[in-house]
Amino acid sequence: MPDPITIYSLSDSVVDNAGGRLLRVYGDFSGQSGLAYNIHVGPLGTVADPKVQSGKAGFTTDLYIWNTGELRGYLPRLNAGTSVALLVRRKDGVREQLIPNALQVVPQSYYGSVFDIRGILPVYYWVGPRNLENLEPTP
pLDDT at 131: 64
Q: How many domains does the chain have?
A: 1
Instruction: Give the tens place of pLDDT for each residue, 10-29.
Output: 999 999 998 899 999 999 99
130 inside domain: no
Poorest-confidence range of 15-24, 34-43, 55-64, 130-139? 130-139
110 inside domain: yes
Quote the domain boundaries for residue 113: 7-125
63 inside domain: yes
112 inside domain: yes
Instruction: Give the tens place of pLDDT for each residue, 56-114.
Output: 888 899 999 988 789 999 999 999 999 999 999 999 999 999 999 999 999 987 665 66
CATH number, domain containing residue 80: 2.60.40.10
71 inside domain: yes
Contact present, 84 and 78 (Cβ < 8 Å): yes
Ramachandran sector of residue 13 (left: φ over 0; alpha: ψ -120 to 50; beta: rest): alpha
Q: Is the pTM of this model over 0.85?
A: no
Q: Is the model's pLDDT at 135 over the cut of 80? A: no
